């Protein structure tokens, strides 16, 4: 049995994992970079071990340092959360070779599904539909140009080893392909250490629908229904909901069966997500598999009344899936929505930094907040800008949207700019309310919203952020030096003045 769990992560997911571990009577250890020494997730753990100073590559992304922290703390298990090393097969293998329990899928499954070209071949062999794409052996520019003619324009250039939209670009015309390939290879090489790219047919106005899957060491694999993830900015999700308004019972069953087939083909154990694109004709295609817990896992928990982190730990410890899961006894109840709060401007989506001067979470029936910040928290630029997640549940979709709007309006975060205005715009939009939206919803709302901003607001914003409060002549930005940031100033500036 797991007695001491090292959490190889930070922020809200580290706190989320620690809460479940505490309920299970498991001691928690926070492995932290020195810049996070006073962070909330460090203080809330039972014990904490420093990973040293330096950038993420030398701390949270350093396999030797994380393993040393596990040895130093006496931990007998490691939970990676999501991000950082969570999908690194080398890390999973190193944890197990060190004699520790790895709370995640086998390294072999991570390798099989982490490389997109290999995953596509595996899915085709398993009978899971995939988006039409270039041949796996097409690597050179001339070969890919020939494949582009076969697939037709527009199309997508994608990084084989990538995720989160990195290395992905849309190509409208054949003459733009060489430059897109060169850019994708550079980005993929820098981000993933692998410059392999491939082409994929661009589906017109698709929906992004994922299925939560779980497997155990006894060979059982189940799906725990779907999540709609089409509200995205720059290929990153910001709003998720379940159930998906576009699915009826027969289509849900077919997609769920395909998700289970995908997991079985990979020899999967633990929590994972099979992601699909759903086109206008209700045809679905395998997109990718995330071999970890997803950021949006709470909405599945809220509609099913389960704890996915507890199941992760129990399965890693050798337990079978719960009997109700294996027998098909679970049935979703009501509707749930998650809103991701990012430290970024809500127009260009550029990350922001600052100090949280005031923080107050919404509450009430059906309201849950998974947060990694508090009043006084420092928000920097070196980590993912996700600050917290608002999760609401209600008896139906309309009630859940109304609850989300109310809770979002009550959420107070001062001192760092967030995407809350964009989240509010999504919830208030007729397109979202109708349930008939797709992955282009944010770009359409952003374009409409920007056009509606009065000229005076742009002028005021330019003055506020470009004036050098120190008396210099050059422009200044909060990201660069803190000057010109109204929250950092001592003047009588106030929001809405």
Same domain, 211 and 350: yes
Is residue 90 assigned to a domain? yes
Same domain, 32 and 98: yes
Q: Are 296 and 284 in contact (CB under 8 A)?
A: no
Is residue 417 assigned to a domain? yes
Same domain, 443 and 423: yes
Same domain, 308 and 338: yes
Cα separation of 317 and 216, whole Å?
Answer: 10
Cα separation of 312 and 103, whole Å?
Answer: 6
Same domain, 442 and 352: yes
Same domain, 189 and 53: no
Same domain, 197 and 220: no
Record the pTM.
Answer: 0.86
What is the structure's pLDDT at 450? 58
What is the structure's pLDDT at 161? 82
Cα separation of 36 and 55, whole Å?
Answer: 11
Same domain, 174 and 297: no
Q: Choose one of 56, 86, 103: the last residue of a domain.
A: 103
Triad 327, 330, 332: Cα angle to 5°: 155
Same domain, 471 and 428: no
Cα separation of 172 and 150, whole Å?
Answer: 14
Is residue 122 assigned to a domain? no
What is the structure's pLDDT at 109? 95
Is residue 114 assigned to a domain? no
CATH number of the CATH domain containing 172: 3.30.1490.20
- Domain range for 153 is 132-201
CA 287 to each of CA 134, 206, 253: distance values in angstroms, whole numbers, following the listed order: 14, 11, 18
Is residue 109 assigned to a domain? no
Q: Which residues does the chain have with pLDDT short of 50? A: 451, 467-484, 489-497
CATH number of the CATH domain containing 430: 3.30.470.20
Same domain, 84 and 142: no
Cα separation of 390 and 385, whole Å?
Answer: 15
Domains held by the chain: number: 4
Is residue 119 assigned to a domain? no
Rounded to 10 degrees, what is the CA torsion of 115, 119, 121, 124? Answer: -160
What is the structure's pLDDT at 454? 53
Same domain, 271 and 385: yes
What is the structure's pLDDT at 467? 46
Buried-exposed string 18-44: b where 16+ CB fall within 10 A, e elsewhere: bebbeebebbbbbbbbebbeebbbbeb
Is residue 124 assigned to a domain? no
What is the structure's pLDDT at 485? 53
Same domain, 255 and 301: yes
Cβ atoms within 10 A of the Cβ of 147, count?
Answer: 16
CATH number of the CATH domain containing 67: 3.40.50.20
What is the structure's pLDDT at 492? 47
Is residue 111 assigned to a domain? no
């Amino acid at each position: 049995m797991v007695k001491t769990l090292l959490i190889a992560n930070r922020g809200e997911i580290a706190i989320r994992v620690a809460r479940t571990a505490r309920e299970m009577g498991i001691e928690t250890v926070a492995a932290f970079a020195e810049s996070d020494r006073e962070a909330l997730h460090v203080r809330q753990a039972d014990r904490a071990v420093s990973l040293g100073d330096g950038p993420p590559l030398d701390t949270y992304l350093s396999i030797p340092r994380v393993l040393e922290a596990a040895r130093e703390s006496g931990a007998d298990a490691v939970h990676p959360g999501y991000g950082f090393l969570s999908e690194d097969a080398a890390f999973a293998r190193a944890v197990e070779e060190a004699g520790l329990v790895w709370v995640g899928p086998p390294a072999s499954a991570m390798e099989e599904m982490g490389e997109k070209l290999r995953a596509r071949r595996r899915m085709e062999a398993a009978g899971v539909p995939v988006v039409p794409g270039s041949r796996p052996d097409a690597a050179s520019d001339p070969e890919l140009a020939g494949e582009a003619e076969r697939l037709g324009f527009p199309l997508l250039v994608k990084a084989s080893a990538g995720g989160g939209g990195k290395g992905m670009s849309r190509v409208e015309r054949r003459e733009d392909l060489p430059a897109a390939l060169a850019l994708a290879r550079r980005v993929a090489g820098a981000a993933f250490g692998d410059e392999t790219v491939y082409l994929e047919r661009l589906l017109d106005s698709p929906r992004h629908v994922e299925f939560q899957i779980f497997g155990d060491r006894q060979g059982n694999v189940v799906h725990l229904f779907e999540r709609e993830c089409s509200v995205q900015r720059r290929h990153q999700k910001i709003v998720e909901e379940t159930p998906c308004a576009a699915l009826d019972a027969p289509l849900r069953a077919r997609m769920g069966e395909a998700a289970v087939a995908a997991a079985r083909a990979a020899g999967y154990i633990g929590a994972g997500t099979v992601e699909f694109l759903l086109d206008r004709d209700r045809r679905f295609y395998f997109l990718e598999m995330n071999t970890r817990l997803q950021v949006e896992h709470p909405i599945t928990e809220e509609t099913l009344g389960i704890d996915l982190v507890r199941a992760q730990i129990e399965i890693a410890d050798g337990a079978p899936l719960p009997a109700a899961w294996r027998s098909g006894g679970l049935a979703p109840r009501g509707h749930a929505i998650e809103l991701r709060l990012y430290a970024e401007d809500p127009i260009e989506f550029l990350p922001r930094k600052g100090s949280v001067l005031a923080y107050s979470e919404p509450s009430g029936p059906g309201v849950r907040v998974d947060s990694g910040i508090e009043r006084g928290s420092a928000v920097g630029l070196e980590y993912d800008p996700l600050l917290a997640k608002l999760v609401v549940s209600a008896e139906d979709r309309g009630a859940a949207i109304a609850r989300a709007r109310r809770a979002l309006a009550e959420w107070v975060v001062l001192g760092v700019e967030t995407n809350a205005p964009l989240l509010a715009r999504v919830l208030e939009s007729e397109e979202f309310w109708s349930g008939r939206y797709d992955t282009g919803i944010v770009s359409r709302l952003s374009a409409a919203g920007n056009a509606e901003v009065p000229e005076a607001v742009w002028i005021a914003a330019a003055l506020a952020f470009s004036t050098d409060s120190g008396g210099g002549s050059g422009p200044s930005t909060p990201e660069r030096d803190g000057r010109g940031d109204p929250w950092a100033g001592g003047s009588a500036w106030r929001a809405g003045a």
